[in-house]
Amino acid sequence: MTGRLRTGVFGGTFDPVHIGHTAIARGSLFAAQLDRVLVVPVGTPAHRATHASAQDRATMLRLALAGEDSRIQFDATALDQTGPVYTADTLALVRAAHPNDVLFFIAGADSLARSVWRRLDEVALAVERFYVVPRRGCDWPDVQAVIAHLAPDLQARFERLDVIAPDVEASEIRARVKAGESINGFVAEPVASYIVERGLYRN
């Protein structure tokens, strides 16, 4: 790879990471013609409670990515941040670590539409494009409602990215674990084993 790297930044709680997440990372790599995708688990998210510790979520993510394309890479930037973590701050740190890269943010439409995003204008300014992947019950009209308050030039940075991903949600997986049901086919096999070994999501 030569020149400026086209780097995707795919953030989330990954609680737990599932086959939908890895499909989005994999699909974005090709659909957006990226050189790599940094998968960035959030240690202390500002607007969402987590059900597994940051360490457990990071370990599961590493296990899930072990079998993926080497251009899909684990990034601990948001794990190392203290206090509530905001995407604008995380992107500033990613930019400082990779000053020559062209950054592209990747998020599911559900994440954008169902979360409270502070400083969304700063997020848009920090990246070349903010790619939004349609998810269950959330598509482009939901995104438009969220970004309607932004200036037109910032709205133009948001783009729908058609990536084929399994219709899986982390809340569904947690509910299945709690009910004692199988999660095979929902998460990578090493992740499923780790959840059982650690007794995660039982309560």
Radius of gyration of the chain (CA): 16
Per-residue pLDDT for 27 more than 70? yes
**Distance (Å, whole) CA 64 – CA 144:** 32
Residues 6 or more apart whose Cβ sits within 8 Å of residue 175:
none
pLDDT digits (tens, 9 = 90+) for 114-144: 877 889 999 999 999 999 999 888 888 999 9
* Domain 6-167: CATH architecture, name and number where available: 3-Layer(aba) Sandwich (3.40)
Q: Tell which residue, 86, 71, 99, has the closest CA to residue 8.
A: 71
Burial string for 141-180 (b: 16+ CB within 10 Å, else e) reads ebbeebbeebeeebeebbeebebebeebbbeebbeebeee
Q: How confident is the model at residue 1 (pLDDT cuts 50, 70, 90)?
A: very low
> What is the per-residue pLDDT across 86-107, written as a single tens digit (0 to 9) for each?
999 999 999 999 999 999 999 9
Q: Are 104 and 7 in contact (CB under 8 A)?
A: yes
| pTM for this prediction | 0.94
Please give the Cα distance from 53 to 59 (Å, whole number): 10
Query: How far is it, in rounded angstroms, from Cα 93 to Cα 87?
Result: 10
**In 3-state terms, what secondary structure has residue 162?**
coil
